[in-house]
């Protein structure tokens, strides 16, 4: 792949946008927890941050095939940047109440899903233009997510300690602008045929495809279940862990960075092993690693050991996500990718707000250790399920 390949600026833009999201993911929960002392309120804010990702993907994401994925990415990042900038601005003016913060967080996250789905929809065509295999392109694309954890989480910890959590959100706003400019200037337009004149019909067409295509439906259901369990780790469980066990916001950043480092390692492993091991085997082995690592957190190890455990925990999603994306891209026709990926994003995120809210209430009522125990036990129950492994074995095979 040449350095001038169009895949490079897309990956760079995605990385910059996700870096800001990670900073916000650390700064906002810590701000709420430190000012209110309430895990339940932290869960409420996390709920308002996650719910619009699903709504935005379902309602706005259907425009992706009509406007073009490149244009949707630019619009989504621009609007998200404006919303995020309102938080430190209003805080500086003394006008930021708890419920106003919840409303702004909701609006700021509304376009995250459509923007990420649009960039994901661009990957196959740009990979082909750049001379890169789809597996390698998805490995690189997914690596940006984990790299953003490695860089963004410690950066957020430093900014919180030195400048305060609201000020850290200025960086988040800037990253959205940088991402939008990169896509606008350096990523070529990739348009499918214009969908029908009826927007609802376009959305329903994508939904029907997702339901009829058994592999797409299988991954949809599995990811929804996994997201329901994993959703509360970074925005609810780890801030409480950092405050009660590890020793502050600095350790929160390092623990999230450890999770990101594990994800990056898993993504590299996928890129290396994807042509040597069957996809089914990669998926099953990766998923079985989740409950083992989660169980170690129940022991409440100190900050350095917890960061190591989270590194091990992150390896599994690092393998699973690019594998899943590769299969979905192969199965989805070009003209439907924007709608299908937006609908998948909506379905994946629809369960997340409830996982966040329930975990926040659980930790406030019964304590951190019980919250971590439920987290680990849920992953163990999912990993032991014979239904999802047999479904994958029969439907996406060993290629």
Compute the mean pLDDT over every residue in the chain, rounded to the nearest whole number.
79
Q: How far apart are CA 352 and CA 203, in angstroms?
A: 22
Contacts of residue 82, Cβ cutoff 8 Å, sequence gap at least 6? 173
Contacts of residue 351, Cβ cutoff 8 Å, sequence gap at least 6? 224, 225, 227, 228, 231
pLDDT, one tens digit per residue, over 94-111 is 887 888 888 888 887 777
Other beta carbons within 10 Å of 224: 16
pTM higher than the cut 0.75: no
pLDDT, one tens digit per residue, over 112-146 is 777 877 888 788 888 888 888 888 888 888 888 77
More confident residue, 390 or 327: 327
Highest mean pLDDT among 42-51, 60-69, 187-196, 324-333: 324-333
Buried residues in 335-349 as b, exposed as e (16+ CB within 10 A) = bbbbbbbbbbbbbbb
Phi first, then psi: what are they for 192, rounded to 5°?
-85, 175
Residue pair 64/117 in contact by the 8 Å Cβ criterion? yes
Give the percent of the chain with pLDDT over 90: 7
Phi first, then psi: what are they for 284, rounded to 5°?
-65, -45
pLDDT, one tens digit per residue, over 184-209 is 888 887 765 445 546 566 667 777 78
Q: How confident is the model at residue 212 (pLDDT cuts 50, 70, 90)?
A: confident
Give the percent of the chain with pLDDT over 70: 87
- 301 pLDDT higher than 70: yes
More confident residue, 396 or 206: 206
């Amino acid at each position: 792949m040449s350095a001038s390949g169009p895949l490079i600026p897309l990956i760079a833009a995605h990385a910059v946008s996700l870096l800001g999201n990670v900073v916000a993911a650390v700064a906002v929960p810590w701000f709420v927890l430190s000012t209110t002392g309430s895990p339940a309120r932290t869960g409420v804010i996390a709920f308002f941050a996650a719910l619009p990702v699903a709504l935005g993907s379902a309602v706005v994401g259907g425009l992706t095939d009509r406007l073009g994925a490149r244009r949707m990415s630019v619009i989504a990042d621009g609007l998200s940047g404006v919303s995020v900038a309102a938080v430190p601005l209003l805080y500086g003016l003394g006008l930021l109440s708890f419920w106003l913060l919840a409303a702004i967080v909701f609006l700021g996250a509304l376009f995250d899903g459509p923007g990420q789905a649009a960039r994901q929809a661009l990957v196959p065509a740009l990979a082909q233009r750049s001379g890169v295999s789809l597996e390698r392109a998805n490995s690189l694309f997914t690596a940006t997510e984990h790299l953003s954890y490695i860089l963004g989480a410690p950066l957020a910890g430093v900014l919180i300690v030195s400048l305060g959590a609201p000020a850290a959100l200025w960086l988040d706003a800037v990253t959205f602008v940088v991402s939008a400019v990169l896509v606008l200037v350096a990523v070529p337009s990739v348009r499918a045929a214009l969908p029908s004149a009826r927007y609802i019909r376009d959305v329903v067409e994508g939904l029907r495809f997702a339901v009829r295509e058994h592999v797409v439906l299988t991954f949809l259901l599995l990811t929804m279940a996994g997201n329901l369990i994993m959703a509360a780790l970074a925005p609810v469980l780890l801030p409480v862990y950092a405050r009660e066990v590890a020793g502050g916001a600095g350790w929160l950043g390092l623990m999230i960075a450890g999770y990101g480092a594990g994800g990056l390692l898993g993504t590299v492993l996928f890129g290396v092993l994807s042509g040597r091991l069957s996809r089914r085997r990669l998926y099953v082995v990766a998923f079985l690693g989740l409950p083992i690592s989660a169980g170690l957190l129940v022991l409440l190890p100190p900050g350095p050991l917890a960061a190591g455990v989270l590194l091990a925990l992150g390896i599994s999603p690092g393998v699973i996500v690019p594998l899943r994306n590769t299969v979905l891209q192969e199965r989805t026709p070009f003209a439907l990718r924007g709608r299908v990926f937006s609908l998948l994003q909506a379905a994946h995120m629809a369960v997340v707000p409830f996982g966040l809210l329930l975990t926040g209430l659980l930790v406030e009522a019964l304590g951190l250790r019980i919250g971590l125990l439920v987290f680990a036990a849920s992953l163990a129950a999912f990993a032991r399920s014979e239904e999802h492994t047999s479904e994958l074995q029969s439907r996406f095979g060993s290629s």
